Chains A and B, each alone.
Chain A
Amino acid sequence: MSANRGGEVGQLYREHRDRLWRAVFLYAGDREVATDAVAEAFTQALRRGAGINSILPWVWRAAFRIAAGELKERRRMASQIETDAHEAPNESLFLAEALAKLSPKQRAASILHYYADYSLKETAAVMGSTVPAVGMQLSRARRRLRELLEERDG
């Protein structure tokens, strides 16, 4: 790959890794999975170089997929949320616990749309889904999150 493309990936890595990490952490509930997924996604982007048209959307998509694959392998989502999220401030802890109760698709759609500020189209692109399907997942997620968070708020 060209030095310029490598430099571009490196620059994006430095600028976006924390934000992407928080998104993947909210999705996975596991610091280690999130760190590995983000680093691996950027590593893949670095190796693929010119084979990627738009680096950042590709990296977001790859990071979520890598995290999902890792979670599938570990099968430890619920317990890990309890462990890792305690390092987060209370408000974030409530959110992480509520997100863990959503389906993976609902959780991913919520994080991408409400945290990462992706539009429905962009969220669909990252998820490899369609706009209507993402809209439906968001609708279900909103209802469930409101129930869970209002319950928590008392």
Chain B
Amino acid sequence: MADLRSRFRAAEQIPAPSQWPDIESRPPRPLPSGLGPPGGLSLIRDRRLVAATVAIVVFVAGGGFALLLLGRGGVRKPASPSPAPPRPTASATPSASPTPMALPGTVALVAFDEASQTSAIYLVTGSNAPVAIPGTTRLGGAGLAWSPDGSHLLVTKGISEGRGELLNLDIKTGDSTTLTTFGGSPMDPSWSTTGDEVSFTTGSGDVYVIHSDGSGLQQISSSGDLCTDMPSAMAPNGTTLAFSRDCDAGGHPGIYVADVGGGQPTLVLPLRGGLGGLSWSPDGAKIAVSAQGPQGWGIYTLNADGTGLQQLTQDLDGAPIWSSDGSVIAFIRRNDQIWSAPAGGGTAVLATDLTGYKLSSWTWFTAP
């Protein structure tokens, strides 16, 4: 069979209209509604459009415009059999900070540097400028994760054409080994605190766990045709993991917790969607998640059993990561800023302004 790009090139033969409307004289209509902002760490290039779509979503009640295209950004009807999402116990605190307060430890991020027009994995310490890890062009676009000792990064490679690999990259030497190629698209990796286990999502949208030596592959979830289980995060105890399930209408989106030893995952918190990242607290008692929660978009925390929902931020925030001491949750705001907020609630502050870089994934290491 001809490759897919060749198949698609044949579409150039489709005759386009011979006559086009005059856009100068055409009266514009309201843009379609149901255009929520994307969840998680995503590429938001036009903030005004995002702001406009958020405004539209606010004004359109009922969610009658569930949309096809917007992925995690779409407005979804709650899954019918699921209970209504609980309301959070505390409202978010307004966040503003003119002066960056750099995170401790080291941040690793996959980003496109607009100045050099290159995409690579960058390391950021304190308030220093990002430094690219040599040889990492085209790596990590579909996720990366620190090893517990901070010496290695799990990075994705080659997802685009279905020849994906999960690599274990030594950040000092730049050497890497392939952990798995399972499913052709291993993405969004997460490392257990002990370093023995790795979770990831495959192209089928299911979560798997594998030993960090590449053995012991084990399927944890079956997402079905309607849903995608991604991302996942291993709990500190190494025997539990949490994952976000994002679904089209008819599925049951929300936060699930699964026992690595077997059994069906449990839906601990039903959510409408916009699930874009999650992280365990160091003591394994709580989970931070970026989602479209009951009071809108933002970072939420919840107990591991789904109770105690608390909204931490009210913005287009994604990819939360808990500090090793449990006091702070850092996250990506918009597309190019790292912010942090007290894990128990409080004012969010700017940590790193990465203007000029377009982030696609990030991870944060703080020594325990």
B45 neighbours in A (Cβ, 8 Å): 53-54, 57-58, 125
A18 to B12, CA, bound (A): 9
Main secondary structure of the interface of B (DSSP, over half): loop
Q: Which residue from B71, B119, B184 sits with its C-beta under 8 Å from A128?
A: B71
Q: Which residue from A40, A87, A108, A114 sits with its C-beta under 8 Å from B15?
A: A87
Q: Which residue from B27, B42, B68 sits with its C-beta under 8 Å from A105?
A: B68
Closest residue of chain A to B32, judged by CB?
A69
Q: Does B11 contact A (CB under 8 A)?
A: yes
A138 to B187, CA, bound (A): 13
A87 neighbours in B (Cβ, 8 Å): 14-15
Q: Is the CB of A140 within 8 A of B230?
A: no
A134 neighbours in B (Cβ, 8 Å): 71
Q: How large is the interface on B (under 10, 10 to 19, 20 to 34, 35 or more residues)?
A: 35 or more
Stretch at the interface among B201-209, B304-312, B337-345: B201-209
Q: Is the CB of A150 within 8 A of B162?
A: no
B8 neighbours in A (Cβ, 8 Å): 95, 110-111, 114-115
Q: Is the CB of A65 within 8 A of B70?
A: yes
Q: Is the CB of A130 within 8 A of B69?
A: no
Q: Mark B233-271, 1 if CB is under 8 A from A, else 0.
A: 000000000000010100000000000000000000000
Q: Is the CB of A105 within 8 A of B71?
A: yes
Closest residue of chain A to B25, judged by CB?
A43
B133 neighbours in A (Cβ, 8 Å): none
B246 neighbours in A (Cβ, 8 Å): 133
B143 neighbours in A (Cβ, 8 Å): 132
Given known pairs A65-B35, A127-B70, A146-B1, the reply for A132 and B231 (CB within 8 Å) is yes
Q: Is the CB of A135 within 8 A of B1?
A: no
Given known pairs A44-B28, A127-B71, A129-B73, the reply for A61 and B201 (CB within 8 Å) is no
Q: Is the CB of A131 within 8 A of B34?
A: no
A113 to B112, CA, bound (A): 18
B31 neighbours in A (Cβ, 8 Å): 44, 62, 65-66
A88 to B361, CA, bound (A): 40
Q: Which residue from A43, A44, A114, A120 sits with its C-beta under 8 Å from B4?
A: A114
Q: Does A22 contact B (CB under 8 A)?
A: yes
Given known pairs A69-B65, A105-B69, A111-B8, the reply for A135 and B187 (CB within 8 Å) is yes
Selected A-B contacts with CB under 8 Å, 27 pairs: A13-B20, A22-B11, A39-B20, A39-B26, A40-B26, A43-B27, A48-B48, A54-B45, A57-B45, A58-B49, A68-B69, A88-B14, A92-B10, A121-B43, A121-B141, A121-B360, A128-B42, A129-B42, A129-B72, A130-B72, A130-B360, A133-B40, A133-B246, A136-B201, A138-B162, A140-B203, A146-B4
Complex A-B, nearest 6 residue pairs according to Cβ-Cβ distance, in ascending order: A139-B203, A69-B32, A104-B68, A129-B71, A18-B16, A91-B10
Which chain A residues have a beta carbon within 8 Å of chain B's beta carbons? 6, 9-10, 13, 17-18, 21-22, 25-26, 31, 35, 39-40, 42-44, 46-48, 51-54, 57-58, 61-62, 64-66, 68-72, 87-89, 91-92, 95, 103-105, 108, 110-111, 113-115, 119-122, 124-125, 127-140, 142-143, 145-146, 149-150, 153
